[in-house]
Amino acid sequence: MDSKTNNGETPEESQQEQTQNQNPLPIIPTASISLSLSTLLPIHFLPPKQITSSPNKIKIPSQIASIANLSLSSSFPQAKASFKSAISANPLQSSLTVNPLRPTNPSGAAALRRAAVVWFRNDLRIHDNECLTTANNESVSVLPVYCFDPRDYGKSSSGFDKTGPYRATFLIESVADLRKNLQDRGSDLVVRIGRPESVLLEMVKAVGADAVYMHREVSHDEVKAEEKLEEVMKDEGVEVKYFWGSTLYHLEDLPFELEKMPTNYGGFKEKVKGAEVRKTIEALDRMKGLPKRGDIEPGEIPSLVDLGLNPNATMGQNGKTAANASLMGGETEGLQRLKNFAVECKAKPNNGFKDGANDSIYGANFSCKISPWLAMGCLSPRSMFDELKKSASSMISAASNKKNGGAGTTDTGMNWLMYELLWRDFFRFITRKYSSAKQQSYTPACTGVAA
């Protein structure tokens, strides 16, 4: 008797077919995985193919992530970890970075800014300039800019020149020297007459810069200029990075918050007695070049006439240059004066003046004659302190030992210089404290616009 069922199959064949349906052969998924991965990964990442032929039509997973959910142990046990890491690092799965990479990313040149603008203010120097050095280290290209702000010239409400001809001449010479020093290092200085917030905005747009680097200042008008610059740069999405470089002691190193600063010099001097002076920053030997985009012209350095001043005002009644106009502005001249001053201190012994002072160090009118270069930022207080400390240490030590019977104390010697520089620090910090209710506090430069 025929034992087949109505559909022509025996019970054993029917059971075998059901078993096959429950456990299909893995050839189709294996081929699918192999083809999908070969389109995503380099060939040398894949093991030798085990399939000699493939179906005409293979279903490719619609999402790359679905491959990671399939088991690879049956076909490629030796490459399981490699496939997982390669798939997760696939660039198609990563979102694009809109903002430029920052220097904290250790990916080499790609971590640098496209371009940065450095706004020179009262820091007309290359040496000990944290603002310039940081911009150079963090950027592919750097655009140094100086602005002759028209608001700093002309007549005041009292009828006097806001900037007199002597100071203006000294400033013009300092800007010219800064340009030369930048050119010697492969850069240049862009000079404009105009309001900084307008000039710098124009420069930022022209070169495609994404940050402006600048030193903080302390007076009311200078702080207002910073606020206006922040507003226009914020609208453009450009970061503003602030630095502090106008005092002997760094603002961040003060042993008190600026709001709690003593209002008298004695209290201030006592508070900072244990603070340390930061090391000076070496001048750059070579600078990044100017941005290629924008084709910015360096511009001419203005004359006194261009600034609305009378050039004859610097002449004496006899037609010769006045004595006050004999000082040459600029970092180069300032550093040379500082070296000469240090040599003079070392060459002449102490004559018994109070606090180890030396009558020769003051020169005419009881002045060391360094102040103009400090005021323009052609010299930094830290570099002045370091140079004199190195050059005059032997003289001061000998004078101190002689005065104290060979014992020597720390209350004499360098204190005369410290007193002078500390007075300068005191006035700048106290001015900063009260210059702006909006920006009384200071935060490090890395915080950007909110600094």
112 known member of a binding site: no
Instruction: Enter the tokens of residue 439.
Output: 């920006």
Q: Is the pTM of this model over 0.95?
A: no
Helix residue spans in 49-124 (DSSP H): 65-68, 80-88
Give Dmax over CA atoms of the chain in angstroms. 145
Known binding residue 424? Answer is yes
Residue 165 and residue 321 in contact, taking contact as beta carbons nearer than 8 Å: no
349 close to 401: Cβ distance less than 8 angstroms: no
At 49-62, the pLDDT tens digits run 444 444 444 443 33
Other C-beta atoms closer than 10 Å to the C-beta of 273 total 10
Domain borders along the chain are 11-93, 112-310, 330-434
242 within 8 A of 445, measured Cβ to Cβ: yes
- pLDDT interval class at 220 (50, 70, 90): confident
210 is in an annotated binding site: no
Provide Rg for the chain, Cα atoms.
36
Average pLDDT over residues 178-194: 97
Q: Does 421 belong to an annotated binding site?
A: yes
DSSP lists the bridge partners of residue 211 as 239
CB atoms within 10 A of CB 289: 13
Between these two residues, 436 and 50, which has the higher pLDDT value?
Answer: 436
8 A C-beta contact, residue 451 and residue 237? no
Residue 158 marked ligand-binding: no
CB atoms within 10 A of CB 156: 9
Q: Which of 162, 143, 149 is nearest to 121 (CA)?
A: 149
List Cα–Cα distances, 439 to 127, 222, 252, 430, 450, in angstroms. 28, 12, 15, 13, 10
Q: Say whether 288 sits in a helix, a strand or coil.
A: coil
CA proximity to 423, closest of 278, 194, 249? 249
Higher pLDDT, 162 or 445: 162
Residue 207: other Cβ atoms inside 10 A = 23
- Its CATH architecture, for the domain 112-310, is 3-Layer(aba) Sandwich (3.40)
Strand-pair partners of 147 = 192
- Residue in the block written with tokens 């003051």: 362
> Mind listing the pLDDT tens digit for each residue in 296-352?
999 999 999 999 998 887 655 555 555 555 789 999 999 998 888 877 766 665 544
Q: Is residue 72 part of an annotated ligand binding site?
A: no
Residue 282 tokens, joined: 């070496």
Cβ-Cβ contacts under 8 Å for 379 (sequence gap 6 or more): 125, 331, 334, 335, 338, 370, 373
DSSP secondary structure letters along 303-351: -TTTTT--GGGGB-TTSSBPGGGGPPPSHHHHHHHHHHHHHHHHHS---
The reply, when asked if residue 367 is annotated as ligand binding, is yes
d(CA 154, CA 42): 70
Mean pLDDT, rounded, of the chain: 72
CA distance 156 to 221: 13
What distance in Å separates the CA atoms of residue 200 and residue 101, rounded to the nearest whole number? 23
Look at strands 142-148 and 190-193 and give their pairing: parallel
**What one-character DSSP code corresponds to residue 13?**
H
At position 33, the amino acid (one-letter code) is I
Cα-Cα-Cα-Cα dihedral sign, residues 170, 172, 176, 182: positive
Determine the pLDDT at residue 60: 36
Strand partners, 119: 145, 214
Q: Please, are residues 207 and 293 in contact by the beta-carbon 8 Å criterion?
A: yes
381 sits in which H/E element:
helix 381-403
Whole-angstrom Cα distance, residue 396 to residue 414? 7
- The label of the residue with tokens 């060939």 reads 43
255 has a pLDDT exceeding 80 = yes
pLDDT-derived band at 94, boundaries 50, 70, 90: very low
Tell me: is residue 425 an annotated ligand-binding position: yes
CATH architecture label of 330-434: Alpha Horseshoe (1.25)
pLDDT tens digits for 360-384? 444 444 456 788 999 999 999 999 8
Q: Is 273 annotated as a binding residue?
A: no
The two structure tokens encoding residue 129: 């300039």
Give residue 195's pLDDT. 95
* Selected residue with higher pLDDT from 244 and 24: 244
Q: d(Cα 67, Cα 23) in Å, to the nearest integer?
A: 21
Helix (H) or strand (E) holding 120: strand 116-120
